[in-house]
A = this chain, B = another copy of it.
Amino acid sequence: MNRIAAIAWLLCLCGGFAAIGHADEGMWTFDNLPLKEMQSQYQFTPSADWLAHVQHAALRSKDGCSAAFVSADGLVITNQHCIGECLASISTPKRDYTLDGFYAYTRDQELRCPQMEMEQLTDTHDVTAEVSKSLKGLSGDDYVDAFRSISSRLEQGCADGDTRRWSCEVVDLYHGGRYVLYKYRRYQDLRLVFTPEYAVAAFGGDPDNFNFPRYSLDVALLRAYDRDQPVKPEYLTLSTQAPREGELVFAAGNPGTSARGRTLAELTGLRDDDLTPALVYYSELRGLLEEYAHEGPDQRRMAYANLGEVDNLIKAHQGQLEALQDQAQLERKAADEKALHDWVMADPARRAEYGDPWSAIAAAEQRQHMLITRYRMLEQGWGFESRLFDYARLLVRGVEERDKANGRRLPEYRDANLPQVEQALFAETPVSADYEELMLGWSLSKLRETLGADDPLVRKLLGRDSPAQVARTAVDGTRLDSASYRKRMWSDVDFMEVSNDPLIVMAAKVDKDARAVRKQYEQEVLSVVRTQSEIIARARFARDGTGLYPDATFTLRLSYGQVQGWSEDDRKVPAFTDFGGLYGRATGSAPFALPPRWLAAEAQLPPATHLDFATTNDIVGGSSGSPVIDRDGKLVGLVFDGNIHSLGGDFWYDGGENRAVAVDDQALLMALRKVYGMTALADELVNGHL
């Protein structure tokens, strides 16, 4: 359902791990921290209690962000940009919460975010032995099936029948170096408490995104409920002190994916076959939405609810692409790869054990080049950018998949994941027919463009009509905008199977081809890269030993670093921005325009109070919403971005330039009191309870 998640998945399946090359480098699992380095550099070693407390307060959002509990009454802090889907779905033609912000002065004013879910990591359990045994000697389809089957069995046992409460996931760390079963407590009733105006949350907009100095209050507060009562979690208390330059800080969050262990062939494939086409695709979509926003207030609302994500994707891809065009870094990578390759080849026993995984991966990348366009169009949603179509596909596949044994299903339809499918399907999310038509029509035209007008599937889908006509007919004729209708289809398979709903028909037409290319892609590319990466990982372990951190896997990690600016050419970029700078940068025009409330409050806000700050913490996408914690385990800020150099962080960490960017929590408190008059909420944050 979520394009970012879909892309993250595309980027993430390869990987590996990396040796520490720089101070502050690393996205560490809680059980394997570089305690000696931390102690020697910062004279601090976190205690077991410190770690347990942080772990239990930290949260992961299903939308690809991080978050944390910040009060005994279930208050959750994350970024405004992490709740875009929620804001769009609770907004109405009359109330645009994305633009205007949201303010619950009392608990009964809190509004539920329909599809939001948070997960709290309660337990991890090493299952390397079981998984490795199941996979031994397998490859291709058998390997994928066996992994699915053992994961599914382990996950089901872990959730113990209560998949509404628990969610479990076998995570592959160090590429087959370790398999770990992660157990999460699920929170599916999250209600919005506060988020500022878009103009403040995203002050500076796309121009300032991935930049610093930065002046955004990119914060949202939600409250987690269980059976209509606020939950009572472990939580982080707010520090009363603003962080100082050079201070040691931690970020506890869920970095999504990184590729520090990838081979050169993978990085080249990523650059040419993933990043570049995605940039082109999203740039066209951006232009489309920018202009669509001018066509009326509803169009404006829909466009802006989605443009932020698109802008962000573009900039992230751009930054990564630029990193992968850096010949010097690529050569360093090549030298590192060659050294390991030579080490393997230098010894007949090693050669026999490891073979030549680099060539095998390069061949898989060639296959990827052939398959990826079709895979992306049919299976990754690029040809069908429509929420209604997503419903149709979930329904059509749901019928087929639920008929199979659990372990043989596509992962997203395994029993453990069905609650999430149902939540997506049954949520009462309003749908804009006009926007659906625009997006489906446009993406069908991309489908035709990339696969060609003569492609049999394209002919089957479009017949003699234009993409826009096909989209109009389908969106006009469907009843999938009704949650109850979808519910009936999901529960009454016969009802669905006789349906001639045009989107169900469309999804059914695509399904065989989409499944076929997915299977091919998984077998010929992903599983090859996966098994061969394991071999490289084993070789590296054998040569270098442990003391490494695994590539990011959208699971909980701790990074450490310090509050610090950096130097750019001859320019020194400071570590902090403040309210004075915000007002200095404000113009009357978006994205640098401040809302009236903020203009009125200028005299109340001390100019020297810090607003945002930069740190050397090693973060990547997915870390948005990570609490920034001081050595006392107190919250001092909230990660919401990285600078432009941090985008190369997917491939390597450069301590000289790579910076995380966070909101200072003192700025949040000040704004709640002086701008929004939300004193009770500010008190709850300071006191830790209502």
Residues of A within 8 A of B (CB): 204, 206-208, 211, 268, 272, 276, 279-281, 283-292, 294-295, 314, 318, 321, 325, 327, 438, 442, 448-449, 452-453, 463-466, 469, 587-590, 592
Contacts and interface: CB of A to CB of B under 8 A. Distances in A.
Contacts of A284: 283-284, 286-287, 290
The 8 closest A-B pairs by CB, nearest first: A287-B287, A464-B587, A466-B589, A287-B288, A291-B291, A284-B287, A283-B283, A283-B284
Interface on chain A toward B: helix, strand, loop, or mixed SS? helix
A592 B464 CA distance: 9
A204 B452 CA distance: 11
Contacts of A438: 291
A346 to B, nearest CB: 26
A314 B277 CA distance: 12
Contact of A287 (B285, B325, B465): B285
A292 B287 CA distance: 10
Contacts of A285: 287
23 contacts: A207-B448, A207-B449, A268-B327, A276-B279, A279-B279, A279-B283, A280-B280, A280-B318, A283-B287, A284-B284, A284-B287, A285-B287, A287-B287, A287-B288, A287-B290, A288-B291, A290-B291, A290-B442, A291-B295, A453-B592, A464-B588, A464-B589, A465-B588
A206 B211 CA distance: 37
A382 to B, nearest CB: 14
A231 B587 CA distance: 60
Contacts of A290: 284, 287-288, 291, 442
A206 B449 CA distance: 8
A511 to B, nearest CB: 24
Contacts of A279: 276, 279-280, 283
B465 A587 contact: yes
A34 B288 CA distance: 50
Contact of A465 (B276, B295, B325, B589): B589
B588 A204 contact: no
A283 B276 CA distance: 12
A208 B442 CA distance: 17
Contacts of A466: 589-590
Contact of A207 (B281, B452, B463, B587): B452
A71 to B, nearest CB: 37
B469 A589 contact: yes
Given A284-B287, A286-B287, A290-B442, 11 more contacts: A207-B448, A207-B449, A207-B453, A276-B276, A276-B279, A285-B287, A287-B287, A287-B442, A453-B592, A464-B592, A465-B589
Chain B CB count within 10 A is highest, among A211, A448, A453, A463, for: A453
Nearest to A369: B325
A624 to B, nearest CB: 21
Nearest to A211: B452
A442 B290 CA distance: 9
A674 B588 CA distance: 62
B280 A291 contact: no
A321 B204 CA distance: 33
Nearest to A207: B453
A211 B466 CA distance: 19
Given A448-B207, A590-B466, A321 B276 contact: yes
A352 B464 CA distance: 67
A278 to B, nearest CB: 10
A287 B327 CA distance: 32
Contact of A291 (B207, B211, B292): B292
